[in-house]
Amino acid sequence: MSFPITGIGAVTSIGDDPDEIFTSLCEGRSGLGPLRGFDAERFTARQLFEIDDRTGDGDEPGRATRFLVEAVRQAVADAGLPDDLGGIPVLVGTGLRELRSLELWWRDGAPFTADGLDFGPALRRRFGAYDAHTFAGACSASLYALALGWDMLEQGETDTVIVAGCDTVTESMFGLADRVQFDPPALVRPFDRERQGTILGEGAAAIVLRREPAAGRPVRGWLRSVAVNCDAYHQTAPDADGVRASIEQAQAAAGSRPEDIDLVVLHATGTPLNDRTEAEVVAEVFDGARPAFTGIKALTGHTSGSAGLMSLIVALRSVESGRVPPIANLTDPLPEGEGLRLVSDRPLTTPVRVAQVNGFGFGGVNAVAIVAGAA
Amino acid sequence: MTAAVTEVAVTGVGVVLPGLNEPGGLPHGPVAGAAPVDPAALIGKKGLRFKDRATQLGLCMAKAALTDAGLLGPRGLLVPGDRVGVVVSSNLGNADTVCRAVATIAEENTGALSPMDTPNASSNIIASEIAIRFGLRGPNLTVCNGVTSGLDALRWARLTLRSGRADHMVVAGVEPDNDITRRLTGARMVDGGAAVVVGRTDAVGAAGPRLLLGPSLRTEKLPDCAARLADAASGPARDAAAGLWLGAGPSAVPPGAESADLSGWGECSGALGLLQCATAVAWADSGRTEPVYALLGGADGEASGTVWTPPERAV
């Protein structure tokens, strides 16, 4: 079984829509910059991948919502859906919800009420969507939401579902990470021997998924499977068995063998332990197969809740264009990944029929999706 | 009695409230003079240090529900952990960690933060800690969907079970009471909640069904949801007057029907749907055979609703 993806939308620090983001990735443009919303004096780390949309000095509330609404707007327009979504389900995966707005309420007295923590009210106001749902799921949140979207179509609960992910950076998350990171990384260097950790980023991504293609509308790609599980191992450290199980489940559900997969978009956050675990597992799973491997976080930062869906949209663009953007800042691959066909330096031109997308999160929440081009 | 299709049923329940640890007392309201729940007294001190209040409460109710469902013994889980998942419903679970951290940074700098708070900055901490403690490796979800969260969590658990991603799901609704949650909601919070285990009735290791979960309804407005719930009842239950209504305003309850009010327990937010479900389990356990209608929604906002049926009525 597979379901058509009929619309896509995304915003990040390196682009205001999927085309611009994909071009930036291929050209090596980074969104890393000095802190825009936080008081730099109070942190050891001084860089983030922020979207430069603030109008005044300091920070402002409601930005995660703003990014989400824009990504959904793009996806809805791309799919040719009406602007009034009504009962069409909208499933939003997020790591940090509107917790940044909560912080500004508590610290500065910015207006805020408890119902602003989730995205339902905003989606209702903007799109008339009354079946919207916010899931908090760390760094795999949007792929987890995608799994539920898949299940709704498969169980006949809806013909169309919108799946999205979004996050800004909260000061509490950034600050707590800063507390334990004495030597902050200058760059995000996924799968590199010299990687020193990740840097958070902002963004939102959305897709429209349908049971059947809409007559006269383009299909952006096909979703073949989504697998989700949990390591039940550690709050922050990954577990190879859980990661491997999620990949094997996704491949089995898609009916894809490792050798059928042309491209893997890695989770690849640039943290020492996460990248090592992911490299070990994919080296084992793809032993004998030769897919290309890439990842986007060197240029977008770790966009948490939206990261998985962002990677999926990049995979769809690679399927469509036959171009795979390189992993930026990768010069010397980590030993566990030495046998892997890691794309670096420049884009790789290669036919991509089937792509796998990895998303692994805090708390060991793993999600893996498989997408394909025209059947 | 065999069902033609796999059903999803509640097989265990755990209630964690001040002075109450079983669902039968829910409709009677708060216990006078009861002290706040002491998680260490319920599940032991081990492993509770540095966990936020909501996570501690969530662990207590998950343990009670898993034990009640016969899935957890003294030596651990009695079924394969990869077939058991978790859904947590909580809107304000980590609000205190987040607000305290940002205040500390403003007063000093990040050096003054406690690194032990780091996992609590992520909103999925309760669900991931439940998974870690009990070895639950199935799908792990956290629903933060405002007033309808609790019933929505049950909707997603049922979907996940029907699609075959798991055999059992622990569904917990929990909200903590502290200065920050009180200021945000303007009310004393429930400081507890309830969990249920829901499972496929054909799953290995499943206890007997206590309550069958019906499909979920979602409507633009609360009154529409109440009307459609009454219509959704089939067979002998068609007479909606014969049943228990939860979460409906007095005007929405059909004449002659029973209703229960859980509002005395404080602001329940994400815990309310699970407290409703626990109330329904007690209704069925007490021998009542009529359906339970549960509703959640804001005054002008969208609403979620569902019908739960005691298993004797299942066809």
Cβ atoms within 10 Å of A65's Cβ, excluding its own: 24
Select from A42, A133, A362 the Cβ nearest to the Cβ of B122.
A362
Nearest alpha carbon to residue B293 among B268, B260, B251? B260
Min distance A76 CA to chain B CA atoms (Å): 20
Domain containing B12 equals: 8-30+37-200
Quote the pLDDT of residue B3: 41
User: Helix crossing, A18-27 with A307-321: angle to 10°?
Assistant: 80
Q: Is residue B182 part of a domain?
A: yes
What are the φ/ψ torsions at residue B77 (nearest 5 degrees)? -65, 140
Indicate the SS3 state at residue B59. Answer: helix
Q: Is residue B92 part of a domain?
A: yes
Q: Are residues B256 and B179 part of one domain?
A: no
CB pairs under 8 A between A and B: 220
What is the rounded CA–CA span in Å between residue B314 and residue B305? 19
What is the rounded CA–CA span in Å between residue B248 and residue B251? 8
Higher pLDDT pick, A268 / A233: A268
Quote the pLDDT of residue A53: 96
Any A CB within 8 A of B222 CB: no
Residues of A in contact with B124 (CB under 8 A): 95, 136-138, 141, 361-363, 365
Nearest alpha carbon to residue A304 among A205, A235, A201? A201
pLDDT per residue over B267-302, tens digit each? Answer: 999 999 999 999 999 999 999 999 999 999 987 789
Closest residue in chain B to residue A113, using alpha carbons only: B184
Residues of B in contact with A173 (CB under 8 A): 121-122
Residues in chain B predicted with pLDDT less than 70, given as ranges, are: 1-5, 233-241, 312-315
Q: Are residues B19 and B139 part of one domain?
A: yes
Quote the pLDDT of residue A174: 96
User: Helix crossing, A99-108 with B95-107: angle to 10°?
Assistant: 50
Q: List, in order, residues 6 or more apart from B310 with CB less than 8 Å away.
A: B211, B212, B283, B284, B288, B289, B290, B291
Q: Are residues B216 and B80 part of one domain?
A: no
Q: Which of residues 4-43 of A touch B (CB under 8 A)?
A: 41-43
Q: Are residues B235 and B156 part of one domain?
A: no
Cβ atoms within 10 Å of A211's Cβ, excluding its own: 15
For residue B244, what are the β-bridge partners? B258, B292
Q: Is residue B70 part of a domain?
A: yes
For residue A222, what are the β-bridge partners? A4, A372
User: β-pairing, A3-12 with A203-210?
Assistant: antiparallel
Indicate the SS3 state at residue B292. Answer: strand
Question: Average pLDDT of chain A?
Answer: 96
Q: What share of chain B is helix, strand, coil (3-state, %, to 5)?
A: 40, 25, 35
What are the φ/ψ torsions at residue B196 (nearest 5 degrees)? -130, 155
What average pLDDT does the segment A45-58 reach?
Answer: 93
Question: Quick check: A177 and B118 CB within 8 A?
Answer: yes
Q: Mutation test of the interface with chain A: which of B137, B159, B225, B306, choosing the one with the most A Cβ atoms within 10 A? A: B137
Answer whether residue A58 shows pLDDT above 90. Answer: no
Q: List, in order, residues 6 or more apart from B207 with CB less than 8 Å away.
A: B11, B12, B69, B70, B71, B199
Q: Is residue B205 part of a domain?
A: no
Q: Are residues B249 and B168 part of one domain?
A: no
Q: Are residues B240 and B189 part of one domain?
A: no
Q: Are residues B218 and B192 part of one domain?
A: no
Q: Are residues B230 and B154 part of one domain?
A: no
Q: Which of residues 114-143 of A touch B (CB under 8 A)?
A: 114-115, 117-118, 120-121, 124, 130-131, 133-138, 141
> What does each C-alpha distance from A223 to A69, A262, A277, A316 come to in angstroms?
23, 15, 26, 10
Quote the pLDDT of residue A141: 94
Q: Are residues B50 and B12 part of one domain?
A: yes
Residues of A in contact with B150 (CB under 8 A): none
Q: Are residues B215 and B191 part of one domain?
A: no
Q: Give the residue from B151, B169, B200 where a domain finishes.
A: B200
Question: Quick check: A96 and B123 CB within 8 A?
Answer: yes
Question: pLDDT exceeding 90 applies to what percent of chain A?
Answer: 92
Are residues A142 and A306 in contact, defined by beta-carbon separation less than 8 angstroms? yes
Q: Give the residue from B176, B200, B224 where a domain finishes.
A: B200
Domains and CATH numbers, chain A: 3-210 (3.40.47.10), 221-372 (3.40.47.10)
Burial class (CB in 10 A: 0-12, 13-18, 19+), A25: buried
Any B CB within 8 A of A209 CB: no
Quote the pLDDT of residue B312: 67
What is the rounded CA–CA span in Å between residue A358 and residue A263? 11
pLDDT per residue over A122-162, tens digit each? Answer: 999 999 999 999 999 888 999 999 999 999 999 999 999 99
What is the rounded CA–CA span in Å between residue B82 and residue A227? 13
Residues of A in contact with B108 (CB under 8 A): 42
pLDDT per residue over A292-304, tens digit each? Answer: 999 999 999 999 9
Indicate the SS3 state at residue A338. Answer: coil
Quote the pLDDT of residue B233: 65
Q: Is residue B230 part of a domain?
A: yes
Q: Are residues B192 and B50 part of one domain?
A: yes
Question: pLDDT exceeding 70 applies to what percent of chain A?
Answer: 100
Domain count, chain B: 2
Q: Are residues B21 and B108 part of one domain?
A: yes
Quote the pLDDT of residue B275: 98
Provide the total of helices (H) and of strands (E) in chain A, helices listed first.
10, 15
Domain at B110, CATH number: 3.40.47.10
